[in-house]
Structure 1
Amino acid sequence: MERLASSPPHARTPVTVVPESRFMQNYRVASAVHGGSSASAIVNGRGDVELFTSGSNTEVWNIYPDPQSTTANSATATGLTGEVIATGLTPSGDIVLFAAQGTNLLYCVEQPTSASRWSAVKMIDVPLPSNAIRIARITTTRINNKLYIGVLIEAKGLVGTLYNFSWGVWAGRAPASLNGTTLQLQTLNAVWTGNSDANVAFSVFDTVILEYTLSTGQLDRPAIAANFRSLDVAAATDEVGNTQVLAVLSDGNAYCLVGGGKQPYSWAQLTVASSFKQVAVLPSRPALNALLLGVDNTLYHASQSAPSATGWSQPTPIYNGVQSFQATVEDGGLAVFAIQAQQNTVTQLTRETLSGNWNIAALQVQAGGKIEDFASYSTDVTLFSEVGTPLADTPVEVWTEEPSRLAINGGVYYATPRRPVRLLTNSAGVLSIAQQVSALAAPAILVAVPSLMSPGERIEIRQDAEVQDRLSVTTGEELMNAKLAGGAPLLRDQYHKQETANAVAEAVSRSMQLASPLYRKASAATPYVDPRRPRAGVSLRSDALAGARLLDLALVPEQHWHLSVQDGEVRFTDLSADAASGLLMALRSSSLSGGWFSWLTDIGDFIAGVAQGIIKVVDFVVTTVSAGIQAAFHFVVDGVTYLFETLVDTVEKAFDLAEAVFSAVKVFFQQLYEWLAFLFNWGDILRTHDAIAHIVNTGFDFLVGATGGIQRIVDGSINTLQSQLQQWFAEARNTLAGSYSLGGYEQANTPDDPATSKAVANNIVYNGLINNAPAAQSSMAAAALIQEADGPFTQFMEALANLVDFTESSQAFAQALVYLQDLGTAPDEIFRKLLAALMSVVEGVLQAVLSGVQAVIDAMLKTVATLIAGLKTLMNAKWNIPFVSDLYRLITNGSDLTTLDLMSLVLAVPGTVLFKILQNKAPFPDQASVLRFKAAFNADTLLTATGLKPAGRQVLAQAEDGWSGCLPRDLALLTGVLGSVAYFFYGSLTALGDIMPPEAGPPAIVAYVALTLETAAQLCSCPWIFSSGVPGCATADGASRTLWIYTCVGVLLDGIFVLGANKMPENRDDMGVVATFLYGLGHLGAAIPASLGQSASVVALNIVPCLPEVCKPLRLKRVVLATEGLSLVGQAALDVICYTSTTVLNVVSVSAATQPTLVDASALRTGTRSM
């Protein structure tokens, strides 16, 4: 067997990061009430708890008790927007909400009895230091019925960042302005201390202690025994009036402050070997309570305890999966709002006063959302373990090199170079990161997996690298042909001519080439990146902070050029260094200084001026000087000419230079976005969706009509397999398996396919399903369908149970289990255990149970009619899934989302993208193309072509070019592509289920979607679509067709379990695990004769999908227990490796099989369990 060309096996690292970035249109729920980047909880004057959180667009929402709501809560916008919020109570007991917008401090007051719940927004003046950037923190405290307000204003200091403190008091009314102070800090870890107007102070606890007493304006620095950096600090006044301070210090442990008076302060350690990141102290009575959040997103609770040596009880974990929290005291108990790390949803935890019990329930509001689109760079970052398992629910940290708002897995966060976002990957091991942009350049994203990477190491992801790479090679012809979303040309009016396009393209290309090719190009040598899947703009950073992307001047070629834009004529001219210098001198002498326009500080401001019609560009001059790349802009304002000069020293400025060139010909960011970005053509996608739904329904009808034929062929094949088993397996071990390991076999035979990887990534429908599946609600209960079934279902389950019992009692299975249990002892065993050894152990089991398998399959086929009727009912069930249902209603003008709609849309988005990449056109450009497909692709055609119809097989005429498939060649390619993509997502959902504990599974909707994807993939891989032939075992072609017929059994097996238990068989119980294993034995037995003597690609397509199935006993409870759960990791690793590999191989095979020059399409050996 020759080996398929591929990358060699690579050294494995503890974590592998696979990012796929795209400049694209994205969607969000604008009025979402999920927890945002800032939140606050408070008890109002009536004793009710209210929550405030910023939404995805920084609008601040109020969630308040509402007895008229079906959920007991309602949500309303407050009218405020801001990155930083805080709350307090006025002297009259009304909630006042503060929000910072840059350096502005805004507030509004709750008026619950008014028609408008919130007052008009007002402003409090804040004294600003020089170089002020923003208000970084707002903090309040209530003492003697007065509300004390403090703000920390972030400013750029001579060295680093400083925070300037200002304060005010809300007594009878709001302060008009805050009081400035000279207190400058290098930390935000400060709290209010004191219990009276005389001693209230703003106190810093970070390395040193500083106390700024408001009444005197005096700054004190009490002695402390040792200096320790703090990560977070909190304080509250206890029952006797003393301020108690807790902190998380740099070692991650919790400490309380002790000492004072004549003794120096010191930190008393409360925990050992902990890793906390957030702390809160609540002024409950009689004892204070504390909450701590670990870096593993587990929430802990502690309370004051007199018997304890530290004065506090040991923190106890109470809830996990928490990204952040807000808490307050309610009726003496605690009200905690935990913002989930997965979907950013809010869970309310209430601690009862007397019993101390915690009541936990999702916080829900009676509100609807509105979907809106936005321009974004979006990246799906998938994390894999050392052996290729998706790292689900894994703690990660995300920074940006500049402050930026990121939408991650359904939540919205504010990330900075110094302040990471800490959260978990989703259940598929993915961080789906969308960064809204209004310019081509975007701050780099840095991702760290603290538990698996060295301190300080971060994977840097430049989401804009692909756009830069594309623009660096743009041509005038491309610009002339470029179209906007509505079909209008990119270059319009007097600029739509070839000479202009050539000049603009050259200037843009030169601008983009300023950045090093190392930035734009992919590198297989980057640590933590799969060398088989290198991606542009991905590198390893080991420095402490994320800084600006400085140009590497040593790698920038010297260039001097002039772009003239006058009277609609655009000309590009290369210059010598002397000519460029002379031109600049001439422009300087004829222009006023750009300094007249104080708002012009960088190229971005300049572009804004052009877009607003203030500036008319005349000339661009770019020249290499000793200090770097100098750019000069000669422009006209009100008839007066000016010159603006700047150094292009960062990648962002190179982007700005390119945008400035485009803006000179009236092409601004919105037009560039419409040209360069991926925009959802919902017309194309919905037509694909319609065709996919037809495929699934056709598949169900086909299975009903093919039952008799399937039974005849499978029974005959089992008889043949019994007589040929030993010979075929011996030959397979020698010629197919060789010396490969299970994992190594895939690595050796799978090439990288960037087109497929890009198409299946950043699927907003699939990501929306994964992130929101736990909250999905249906119009029906699927379990009721199976109860309506008659005797055949019971007979099948009894026959299956008997076969499973017999299998587990056999000596052959015991021997196989030893191999598999050993395989599961360590995740990397899949790269050590030989494929030939696996074939040997499963051969024995197959020999022992083969006759019993035939009886079970015969019993299963008697259920088909009732099964399909139930599945069709299930396909019509309506679903309400956060975001996904809203999106579907938006794009379909209000239609409800059904199970079939959901699956079809999950597949239609990437399927349309991949087909466009491969063929440069939509799969279904109009409704007529959909009707043509439906007419050609139907159950009767497939039944006739396969010979599974009772009337017998129809011999298909061969076309003049040698094509003999039952579909036209173009439709065969389309069908094969859709089937390949369906198989990828079916495999992804399978891996998601296999990583879960025994007898556990993902939400029911995930199982339903997986089954329909499996059905679509199975039907789309029918070999008769690509060529005619007869099933049998005498030839490889006949055996491949028999193999496909056998894999139809797998769809039926999964269907019975999904309909009856809302789970795939391997997620139901041990019987389901063994059932899948037994199916896999037959799958492998059928795949071997179809592979003997074939090419490496054919063998891989046949054998690789069998491996996860025959290893499925790794999910048996006793194996999971014996391996301490590691067997689940190994099983999920095999799923990801094998299903991804098979998808790529199938796309390559389908493309080759449908080429006009290819006569024999027998290279396709496909099936959902054999792709």
Structure 2
Amino acid sequence: MAPDMAFEVIQTLEGDSIFFSIGTDHVFYVTREIRETQTGWSRVDLSSTLSSQHGNAAVTAKSFSISQNAQTMQFDAALIITVTGADFLYLSLNHPNTADAWANGVTWTVIPFDAANITVPKPLTIADVYLMNIPSTDGSNPVQNCFVDIMRTAGDPLALLDRYYITPGSTPQWAKHTLAIDLKAASISSCLGHRTNDYVPGIYTFGTIGTTRELIYAPQYNFFRPAVAPLASRLTLPAGATAISSALNGNGDTNLFVAGTGGIYVFTPDNQGDGSSPVLAVPSSTLAQINILAGVSELSASTTSSRTVVWALNAQGSLVHTYCPAGQEATASAWSTPIPLCSGVEGFAFYLNMAASNNVLFAHLSGAQLLQLTQDPLTGTWSQRNILLPATAINDMIEFNSFTTHISIYDANGLPVTNTPVTLTSTSPVTVYINNVYHVLTPTIPINATSDFSGSVTVVQETQSLNAVCFEITVTGPPSVTAQVDPLAKASQTLASIQQGSDLRAVQIKDTTGAAQPLIPSTVPSTTSDAAAKSIANLWKIKATLPADGSVKTTAPATAVSHVASSTTASIKPPLVWGVSFVNGATYHEGEEAVSQHIRTKAVANTAPVHTVGLSLAQQIEVAAGDLFNFLQSAWADVSSFVVQQAGAVYHFLATIGGKIYDAILDSVAVVTGAIEFVLNQIEVAFEKLVAWLGFLFDWDDIKRTHLVLKNVMKQFGNKVISSMDTLETMVENAFVNLENEINSFTGITDPGELIGTRQQAASATPGVNSPQSNWAVQHTNNGMGDAQTTYVGSNSSSPGLDQLMADLQGLVTNEEDYISTTVTQIKTQVIDQISSMTPLEAIKKILGIVSDLILKSARNIIVKLIDVIKLMISELLVMLDAPINIPIISPMYKAITGSDLSVLDLIAFVGAIPATIMYKLAAGQAPFPDNATTNELIAAPDFATLSSLITGSSAPAAAQTKLVSGIHSEMKSTAVSKWVPDAGIQNIFAIIMNFAAVTGSILVVACAVKKREQPTPPSAETTTIRAIAATSYLLFISPDIAGAFSNGAEWYVIMNDIITIIATGKTLFDNTEFLSEDDTWNNKISPILETIINICWLPTAIGAIPTMIHEGKTPAATDWIGLVANLFFDGGGALTAGTSEELAPVPVAEGLFAASQVCNLMYGLLCGICASMSVPS
């Protein structure tokens, strides 16, 4: 969200934000934080509808005021609009702050100028409006305190003002606020209030009043003598006063705060009579040689039942805050040390969360977006996030850093558990996106969510620091399973490895192009990196003493260094006192030396004698650790030294800044990570470098090359599909003859005895398969699919002869309908439901026993007729592949990375290339396709034959070509590669990448199936895009079979696999044409039955290699058996398709079979991944 001209913020009953603003377009907006939506925010125009009240003339929002009742959380709004040069006042009072009320919008009431005996100025020009809702303390209605300043005379060069108070519903509603002084526009600032024991509220006015700089409080009117002007109280201004702000307390009275040369002063509610003097509440404070309370231009205060907070925008543009317990505003010692939160601030608004009393701040930073900064109510640390409005254009996007947690849920057999209920809670309140939906996690109220179609829950937590909030996820079961999640866990492992300077100096980080550079610049002295490393090691030892869930360690207060008993062994304890001085670099010190380099003081009397070196904590300036480390993110260079020392059971961090020592307690993991960030800043490791080191940056150059290879492979395979159609029928006839001869060879094979469930359980262990980075593109593709746009339309008319061919095909399919239904039920109940407890050969024999008759009797004629149908539409394939597509996030990212616009084929190849490259690099330690001539040739190969020659490598040794591991459904899966052959390895790399790509393909195919099943009837506009993605995703899904097409094998099952792959590809294309988009008979009857038949015919080719190997006396490798299990899931899931149609099965049965089919598809992908990973040469 871009910054607006003016803004205020209130909260809902749940503590969510309601943000009011006038935009640069002069429209009055409300931007609401809304849970369980895609972005978390919604923006609504509240002023333009008022045009209808003014003859549809243009309306300009000029100014506004918002006030919230702290008891009911209802709010009042005052809006000034300008119409044809005249201003109008509108009010909306006692507006309920609920979702239901917001659904009905805001009702405005115009308050026309009707002051008694006063002629309305022409034109009416309103300078400002003030509004305060004062809650009742006796159960009566709240009091609205509203004042309006207007220009006395239009065009008056003196700009004199007249002030009125507004009493809605009375006659008149405008009443002159009579004061024996002149107010001038732009020379005063005002805020509303209420003094103790006053019967009516009033207004504070500060600035040049007449010719004198004054501070005056005046009630609305004289309660006892309404006809007489109210008695104004002149309050004594502190020297150098620059700003005022009032805050209502629980009694409905206001403290008035004034910023002056000496600091922040307060007039308590009972000290606001004529001539009253303020109390200095927060003395001026020098931090890093700057008086941070000097020249305050804006002051804002708020009070809840437990806390009062004051924010001040100083002369340097820094936003400073301080706080005290409610009711102790006049006690200087009760106030916290003022600390700047952020700099370059041009405007701000905040509220105190009514439940937790933590700060929620909105700040417009110079040259930046509007940001929300939230204080953790437990740890006191600060988090920053963007306000994400629903996009107005498909390519609108914003980039931010995040902790992304990808949680995959599997059952005991390793099957993905899809669409299952889960609950989430967090250690502290935190905003997150769960499966692309905005939520607020809290410790007490579980958030209900559901694993997605792939059995995953993705949690995204925006961050600009190392601070992450831990959360807990529970699968509600049965059985109930709970996992504790620390988003920082991976980074923690890396940080824990840093023990000495050489560890830091050895770290290399890469940018998005893969270029490496040292984490620490060569200009950093070794003594400095040594000091940083020792500090990190010590701080990480302190972290080990703190609650692992991120909560605060609660201990009795201590004021001196002492050694307390602990179960932690001495070898992993940090020194009792240690520190770093920053003079000519950084130098590490321990014990007395650390103190002498910092500031030596006597140990506090009567402390434990085990350790007497340390700093007297009673003499330091206490500061909240969250505030200190947030400040040090930008002011780290102002620290001259720091010491960490143990006191009781906690550790204190004492930083010397400008000659003063600031004391913060390291009582949570969040503040320890803040200390580590501070240390790393001292060695010139800013947060951007931390992301590259501890987080993850995509190596786009490596991914781009993989993408371009995949793209050309799929394109040339598409060309092969088209060119093969004319000879395909003859090939099918011959293949079925061979198939009939070979089916009997599957009997009599010795069963190795290992259960399929054992293979399943290992599938999710593929390195990187469940990582957030591998799933990043899939997540955004699935999330953006419904909003994607394409200019592809496709042919919606039939070719000559097509109608008759389809009628013939329908007749053949209908004849097998009952048999197919029985077959599907048998496969589901006798194989799929029991597959985890069967061996592969048991499953094979059981399936063949069920489907052999169909394969040998009727499938051939149906397949041949299907080929005739596909021939007439196959030219549509390349049109669909090349169709442009615009999809949120992916399209603009792709354009930035490649410089090209995204096509449907680009999308699938790109989304597949990201995880394939990542998983390959994790397994092999290098990119699959380096930047060399061979890769360039693969990318540029103009036809299938050229590409096939490059992949198979005609000069490669024959042994290397027969031992390739990769083609599910083909001989390329036959044996494991035992040795890396650099010169002949391209086919192996290619095959492995194609198997890795199938992991993503399986997810996309399931995502598209789910989306299409959710589509309304008739299909909606976005169906064209989803159909295009579904058709091309299938190429990624069958990528191992495409790899098999490049093997040039002569075995029957290789040839048969090639044929079925081409037919399945053509049929999937045909399914997704515009011509069939609304053909219910095809979509719900013919196509599902055909899919079942194709997969049943595909099964023998999938399992053909192992019987052949065994008959030849060879021993199948582990990857061969895993490949066989993958094929069983692929074809088993596909064989269930007929039963997923609600026209062919009862709805509950169809839904169950659909779910089972998609789980089979996902399991196939996972098994492809583990097979590929095991095949990567070491």
TM-score (norm 1): 0.60
The answer as to whether partners of 1:975 and 1:1020 remain within 8 angstroms in 2 is: no
- Work out which of the residue numbers 1048, 1065, 1070 in structure 2 matches 1:1051: 1065
**Stretch deviating more after TM superposition (834-843 or 993-1002):** 993-1002
SS of residue paired to 2:402: strand
Question: Which residue number corresponds to residue 32 of structure 2?
Answer: 53
CA distance in 1, matches of 2:849, 2:1098: 12
The AA in structure 1 aligned to 2:472 is: L
- Does 2:817 match 1:808? yes
Q: Are 2:521 and 2:684, in contact at CA under 8 Å, matched by a contact in 1?
A: no
Deviates more, 1:1100-1109 or 1:1017-1026: 1017-1026
Residue 376 of structure 1: how far off its partner (Å): 0.8
In the alignment, does 2:767 pair up with 1:754? yes
Match of 2:44 in 1: 62
Residue 819 of structure 1 aligns with which residue?
826
Task: State the alpha-carbon separation in 1 of the partners of residues 634 and 484 from structure 2.
Answer: 32
Query: 2:623 matched to which residue of 1?
Result: 600
Q: Are the equivalent residues in 2 in contact too, given 1:63–1:75 (CA < 8 A)?
A: no
Counterpart AA for 1:982? A
Are 2:669 and 1:669 equivalent residues in the alignment? no
Conservation of the 8 A alpha-carbon contact between 2:722 and 2:874? yes
Aligned to 1:318: none
**Counterpart position of 1:766:** 778
The answer to whether structure 1 residue 1110 and structure 2 residue 1135 are counterparts is yes
1:553, CA displacement in angstroms? 5.8
Whichever residue aligns with residue 751 of structure 2, its letter is T
* 1:973–1:1012 Cα change, 3 Å: farther
- For the residue of structure 1 that corresponds to 2:1051, the secondary structure is coil
Encode CA deviations 1:869-907: one digit per residue, 9 max, x unaligned. Answer: 2122122333444444455556566x6543223223322
Q: Quick one: distance in 2 between partners of 1:621 and 1:145?
A: 52
Output the amino acid matched with 1:775: D
Cα deviations by residue, 1:278-326 (Å, 9 ceiling, x for unpaired): xxxxxxxxxxxxxxxxxxxxxxxxxxxxxxxxxxxxxxxxxxxxxxxxx
- Give the residue type in structure 2 aligned to 1:505: A
Q: Residue type of the partner of 2:424?
A: V
1:448 touches 1:459 (CA, 8 Å); kept in 2?
yes
Change over 3 Å in CA distance of 1:472–1:927 after alignment to 2: same
Residue 1129 in structure 1 maps to residue 1152 in structure 2: no
Matched ranges for 1:891-970 at <5 A: 896-922=901-927, 931-935=936-940, 938-942=943-947, 956-959=954-957, 962=960, 969=984
Cα deviation, residue 392, structure 1: 5.6
Distance 1:1146 1:919, change over 3 A: closer
Name the structure 1 match of 2:457.
431
Distance 2:761 2:520 in 1: 51
Please report how far the alpha carbon of residue 80 of structure 1 lies from its aligned counterpart in structure 2 after TM superposition. Answer: 11
8 Å contact kept, 1:37–1:412: no
The answer to whether the 8 A contact 1:400-1:415 is kept is yes
For the Cα contact (< 8 Å) 1:766–1:906, is it kept in 2?
A: yes
Q: Which residue of 1 aligns with 2:1050?
A: 1031
Q: Distance in 1 between matches of 2:66 and 2:42?
A: 5
Deviations along 1:962-987, whole A, 9 cap, x unmatched?
Answer: 56889964544553344223311221
User: Is contact 1:147-1:170 (8 Å) kept?
Assistant: no
SS in 2 for 1:1146: helix
Aligned pairs for 1:433-472 (under 5 A) are: 433-449=459-475, 459-472=483-496
The answer to which structure, 1 or 2, has the higher relative contact order (CA under 8 A, 6+ apart) is 1
Given residue 724 of structure 1, which amino acid in structure 2 is its aligned partner? E
Residue 558 of structure 1 deviates from its aligned partner by: 2.1
Which secondary structure state, in structure 1, belongs to the residue aligned with residue 401 of structure 2? strand
Alpha-carbon RMSD across the aligned residues, in angstroms, is: 5.7
Give the corresponding residue for 1:659.
Answer: 677
Greater displacement, 899-908 / 862-871:
862-871
Once the two structures are TM-superposed, the CA of residue 718 in structure 1 deviates from its matched residue by: 1.9
- Cα distance per residue 1:14-44 (max 9 Å; x no partner): xxxxxxxxxxxxxx9999xxx99958799x9
In the alignment, which of 785, 793, 804 is matched to residue 781 of structure 1?
Answer: 793
Q: 1:181 to 1:580 in 2, by over 3 A?
A: same
Q: State the Cα deviation string for residues 637-665 of structure 1 (Å, max 9, x = none).
A: 34x3x444555343223323322321232
Map of 1:415 onto structure 2 = 441
Q: How far 1:1079 sits from its partner (Å)?
A: 1.5
Once the 2 structures are TM-superposed, how far is the Cα of residue 1061 of structure 1 from its aligned partner? Answer: 3.7
Match for residue 1005 of structure 2? 990
Matching residue's letter, 2:634: A
> In structure 1, the residue corresponding to 2:1035 is in which secondary structure?
helix
What is the alpha-carbon distance in structure 2 between the residues aligned to residue 399 and residue 441 of structure 1?
17
The amino acid that maps onto 1:1109 is G
Code of the residue aligned with 1:898 in structure 2: it is S
- Secondary structure (helix, strand or coil) at the match of 1:434 reads strand
**3-state DSSP class of the match of 1:554?**
coil
1:559 aligned counterpart, secondary structure: coil
Q: Is residue 853 from structure 1 mapped to residue 859 from structure 2 by the alignment?
A: yes
Contact 1:739 1:834 in 2 (8 A): yes
* C-alpha contact 2:712 2:941 (8 A) present in aligned 1: no
Equivalent pairs, count: 841
The yes-or-no answer on 1:721 pairing with 2:746 is: no
Is the contact made by 1:976 and 1:1021 (CA closer than 8 Å) also made in structure 2?
no
Indicate if the aligned counterparts of 2:732 and 2:864 stay in contact, CA closer than 8 A.
Answer: no
Q: 1:1101 aligns with which of 1123, 1141, 1160?
A: 1123
Structure 2 distance, partners of 1:930, 1:76, is 60
Distance (whole Å) between structure 1 residues aligned to residue 614 and residue 538 of structure 2: 26
Name the residue aligned to 1:1167: none
In the TM superposition, what whole-angstrom CA distance separates every residue of 1:513-533 from its partner, at most 9, and x where no partner exists? Answer: 44459999xxxxxxxxxxxxx
Give the Cα separation in 1 of the matches to 2:959 and 2:836: 44
Q: Structure 1 residues 902 and 571, CA, compared in 2 at 3 Å: closer, same or farther?
A: same
CA 1:758/1:41 → structure 2, altered by over 3 Å: closer, same or farther? closer
Structure 2 equivalent of residue 293 of structure 1: none
Match of 1:756, SS state, is coil
| Aligned match for 2:397, one of 371, 386, 396 | 371
- Quick check: which has more Rg, 1 or 2? 2
Question: Distance in 2 between the 1:29 and 1:983 partners?
Answer: 41
Answer yes or no: is the 8 Å Cα contact 2:881–2:905 preserved in 1.
yes
Matching of residues 971-982 of structure 1 within 5 Å = 971-972=986-987, 974-982=989-997
Residue 379 of structure 1 aligns to which amino acid in structure 2?
T
Q: Aligned to 1:754, what secondary structure does the other structure show?
A: coil
Do the aligned partners of 1:1107 and 1:1138 also contact (CA within 8 Å) in 2? Answer: no
Residue 796 (structure 1) shift: 5.7
CA contact (8 A) 2:432 2:439 kept: yes
Is the Cα–Cα contact under 8 Å of residues 419 and 453 in structure 2 kept in the other structure? yes
Identity, % of aligned pairs? 15
8 Å contact kept, 1:687–1:924: yes
- Deviations 1:71-124 (CA, angstroms, capped at 9, x unpaired): xx9999999999999765549545699999xxxxxxx999999xxxxx999987
**Structure 1 residue 473 displacement after superposition:** 0.9
Q: Shift in Å at residue 1044 of structure 1?
A: 4.8
Q: Deviation per CA, 1:1102-1131: give whole Å up to 9, x if none.
A: 343333223444424354546484333333
Which residue of structure 2 aligns with residue 289 of structure 1? none
CA contact (8 A) 2:1133 2:1161 kept: yes
Q: Cα 1:570–1:932, aligned 2, differ >3 Å: closer, same or farther?
A: farther
- CA shift at 1:1040, angstroms? 4.8
CA contact (8 A) 1:684 1:922 kept: yes
2:537 counterpart of 1:509: yes
